[in-house]
Amino acid sequence: MAADNSLTPLTTPDHVILRMEAHSREDAAGQLAARLHADGRISDLDAFLAQVNAREHQMATGLPGGIGMPHARSEYVVSTSIAVGVPKFGHSVDFGAVDGPATLVLLMATPASSYSEHFEVLATLARSLAKATFRDSLRRAHDQEIIAELINSTVDFSGS
C-alpha cells in the first residue's frame, strides 16, 4: 500500500543531525539515511545507500551556497523524506559544488514510483536553498524542531 504523503511530514526532528561530523559525502549520506531507516522510511539501508552513492558518482549533488543534496528515487523508500545534517563547525563535506564544500546537507529519499513528486520536491527545495536567508535560517537554528518545521513549511505538497 502506498504511503499517504499528505499525512506524513517530509522530515521530523529525529531526521535532523546537528553538529554532524562526516568525513566524506558517503559518510554524510550514511548518517542521514540511518535516521530515515530507524524511522521506518527506508526498508533496506545498505541497498538505498548504494543507489545514493551511484547517483552521486553520476553527477555531483553540491549546490551553490554550501549545500550538499544527495538524493535518490528507490524501491527501498517507503515515503518521501528529507534528512538534514548541519556539520559541526570546521567539518564541511565536499559534494562537488564549484564554490566549495557543504556546510548544510539534505538527503532526499523518494519511492521509485514517485517520479513527479521527486522532481517537485527537489525543485522546490533547490529554489528555497538558492535564497541565502533560507540557508542561513537552517544553519543558525541549532534546534532540530525548528529545522524540521522550516523544511516542512517550505516544501508543502499536501495538496497533491
pLDDT digits (tens, 9 = 90+) for 116-131: 988 999 999 999 999 9
Mean pLDDT, to the nearest integer, of 129-141? 94
Mean pLDDT of the chain, nearest integer: 91
pLDDT digits (tens, 9 = 90+) for 99-113: 999 999 999 999 999
3-state secondary structure the chain: CCCCCCCCCCCCHHHEEEEECCCCHHHHHHHHHHHHHHCCCECCHHHHHHHHHHHHHHCCCEECCCEECCEEEECCECCCEEEEEEECCCCCECCCCCCCCECEEEEEEEECCCHHHHHHHHHHHHHHHCCHHHHHHHHHCCCHHHHHHHHHHHCCCCCC
Distance of alpha carbon 158 from alpha carbon 147, whole angstroms: 19
pLDDT digits (tens, 9 = 90+) for 11-70: 999 999 999 999 999 999 999 999 999 999 999 999 999 999 999 889 889 999 999 999
